[in-house]
A = this chain, B = another copy of it.
Amino acid sequence: MTAPSSWPRVEGIAYGGDYNPEQWPREVWLEDVRLMREAGVTLVSVGIFSWAMLEPREGEYDFSWLDDIIGLLHENGISVDLGTPSVSPPAWFFHQYPDARVTDARGTVMGFGSRGMASHASPEYREAIARMAGVLAERYGDHPAVVMWHIHNEYGVPVGEDFGPRAVTAWQQWLKERYSTLDGLNAAWGTAFWGQRYGEWEHVVAPAATPTVANPAMKLDWARFTDDQLRACFTIERDAIRAHAAQPITTNFMAHQSWNVDLWKWAELVDVVSDDHYLWSPDPDAHVLLSLAADLTRSVAGGKPWILMEHSTSAVNWQGRNIAKRAGEMRRNSLTHLGRGADAILFFQWRASRSGAEKFHSAMLPHAGTDTRLWREVVGLGSDLARLGDVKGSQVEAEVAVLYDWESLWAHELEWRPSDDLQFRERMRAHYERLWRDNVTVDFVHPSRHDLSRYKLVVAPSSYLMTAESAAALTEYVAQGGTLLVDAFAAAVDEHDAVHPGGFMAPLKDALGVTCDEYLPLREGDSAQIVMDDGTALDFDVWAEDLHLHGAEAIATYRGGPADGAPAVTRHAHGEGHGWYLSTRLSTDALADIYARVYADAWITPAGYPEGVEVIARSGDDEDFVVVVNHLDEDVRLPLRGTDMLTDHASAGDLTVTAGGAAVLRTPVMEPGGDA
């Protein structure tokens, strides 16, 4: 076995999507490959839901059709990302092993008939997926068309948790390994509260249905356990493949769209990071969340190029109102992903399914065929991407880091927090959008995992759970000259969801010069103001805090609301740097006033492009690339220089990007923050 490569063997920017030939007769396959060539498709994912076709009865395999289609694709120069079908065990499997079905928190056993998620703890399931992955790898490990392995599909979606008896046994074992002793568990969970002390490991049950809320530390550990179990299942398949095959192995994440997998940990297990992304229709600015997801994906990939494994050509089917993309929108989405590090642009799926739960999901080839706007845009995008091969492998660099911690998300979402209205994701988005509108590119980081010293500014939204270790890293970052902006409800609890000794924010006291005596949520619909030291008044709602200053200066003060007259925003000099604390909820608009001051401390100067025009740079070895995406309904003119790779048009600092349009400039290497 040679060492696995970290990128599939495909020329240029890969283009394509999921391909499910088993849904169609062979004559359609011939049309498929012809149209794939017309569209410029170079890579398709095959076999993700094919278990029942590959193993129609336990132990009986049928690879003839898969051989056939892979061969056909190969003949036509289209590479294959080969899926393992572990996400969809067949009907016979669940009939044979009913205990492998998932049980929900109310005790209901989830039956067959949708996407057949199995219990991660089922020994029979684990054995079956290892066997299937091994058989596939043995057969296709050397196939010249197969350039990558795609394990499972979107781990944790639609369900990750299992409360069945097999899972409970695994949970008890997991806890033994985590805590060694019951005293350790009892201390970590604070079981003295409500009389929950355990005297035997086997008395610990799952946090399923309970008369009122279950122990939050138990639930937080349950989230970690579930994530660990899913990763264990992935690892089983990965190892089974690696025993026979050297192609890079991935599984498709859903960064900032699914919530029960900690991608910092997952990214360590894959050879190449891939991500699925879908617009959230109720949000008219869903492209901001797209950028966030792309930056997060790149960040968990350690800055290396990544694969956009799935997105949609137009509407999806699983939202309340599935908004179709307008002309040009798919292209903008694709180029934004590319600008933020994606070197492969793939879709779910190649050809729209006539049957099943997702028949209203758009595809590269729609139900109405090729005489459609959609098909013409798909062909156009293929043509665009073919011009962008040189971008491949270049890197995105950022001066600002934003903290992102799935454990804080899990803990924040547990029951009985001070206010239902203060939400991890909403705050994450508000801060990200502020930076996005300012065209300040960010990396996401975890303070216990990353070196913060390379960033001019670190922003910490939604940091309810913050370990002493992370707080120490942030404090050291400030001491060494960094600028830190911490948003409200920060550092309340440690890794066991226990309030920090000394009270809320105690671990950040040195860095910020402030702690919080009490949280002061507002009633639903109430709002008030904070007043900056220059007299500017900003509306806030949802949340205030009773701050206790330990050296910090008040930059803004509450006017009205439960903290009337008290400090709202503080700034503290610590060592060579400054720590800012924002104790309330501000809108993205209102954040502008805060960020203007924080940018100044951090020596950051936003470029001043119109809000809604997205400019991202990728740095190559010898040249840089600037991706410009215009989300506005009017043309914009930007002082950027370079040659648009999409049109070969040269700009000498007066680039015009049409309404809804995009450009990819090839430029000389830029110095970070400087001019080209």
Contacts and interface: CB of A to CB of B under 8 A. Distances in A.
A640 to B, nearest CB: 31
Nearest to A158: B212
Contacts of A104: 209
Interface in A396-435: 415-421
Contacts of A522: 321, 323
A195 B52 contact: yes
Interface string A534-577: 00000000000010100000000000001000000000000000
Contact of A113 (B23, B90, B112, B196): B196
A419 to B, nearest CB: 5
Interface string A279-293: 001101000000000
A281 B282 CA distance: 30
Contacts of A218: 113
A359 B52 contact: no
Interface string A281-315: 11010000000000000000000000000000011
Contact of A102 (B211, B326, B419, B521): B211
A67 interface: no
Interface string A585-608: 000000000000000000000000
A354 B502 CA distance: 10
Contacts of A282: 523-524
Contact of A215 (B208, B354, B357): B357
B518 A210 contact: no
B355 A90 contact: no
A211 to B, nearest CB: 4
Nearest to A101: B211
Contacts of A368: 502-504, 515-518, 548
Contacts of A56: 197, 199
Contacts of A315: 418, 518-519, 521
A646 interface: no
A49 B194 contact: yes
Given A357-B216, A518-B366, A210 B496 contact: no
A212 B91 contact: no
Contacts of A110: 209-211
Contacts of A499: 352, 354-355, 359, 367
B366 A210 contact: no
Contacts of A115: 194, 211-212
Given A106-B106, A114-B214, A366-B503, A51 B195 contact: yes
Name A's interface SS. Answer: loop
A292 B546 CA distance: 31
Nearest to A54: B195
B355 A199 contact: no
Interface residues of A, number: 124
Contacts of A189: 355
Interface stretch (A74-82, A369-377, A478-486, A615-623): A369-377
Interface in A31-89: 49-53, 56-57, 85, 87-89
Given A85-B195, A503-B368, A205 B523 contact: no
Nearest to A208: B111
Contacts of A357: 193-194, 212-216, 415-416
B107 A109 contact: yes
B200 A418 contact: no
Given A194-B49, A212-B158, A92 B200 contact: yes
A20 interface: yes
A352 B504 CA distance: 12
Given A111-B206, A190-B23, A200-B92, A323 B211 contact: no
A217 interface: yes
Contacts of A194: 49, 88, 114-116, 356-357
Contacts of A367: 499, 502-504
Q: Which 7 A-B residue pairs are closest in the complex by CB-CB distance?
A: A190-B355, A193-B356, A88-B195, A368-B503, A49-B195, A158-B212, A114-B210
23 contacts: A23-B193, A49-B192, A91-B200, A91-B204, A92-B203, A95-B203, A111-B208, A111-B210, A113-B210, A113-B218, A158-B211, A190-B353, A193-B353, A193-B358, A216-B357, A317-B416, A320-B524, A321-B420, A321-B523, A355-B498, A357-B415, A359-B493, A373-B518
Given A190-B353, A190-B356, A360-B416, 10 more contacts: A92-B199, A114-B211, A115-B212, A116-B195, A315-B418, A323-B523, A357-B415, A360-B418, A362-B518, A374-B518
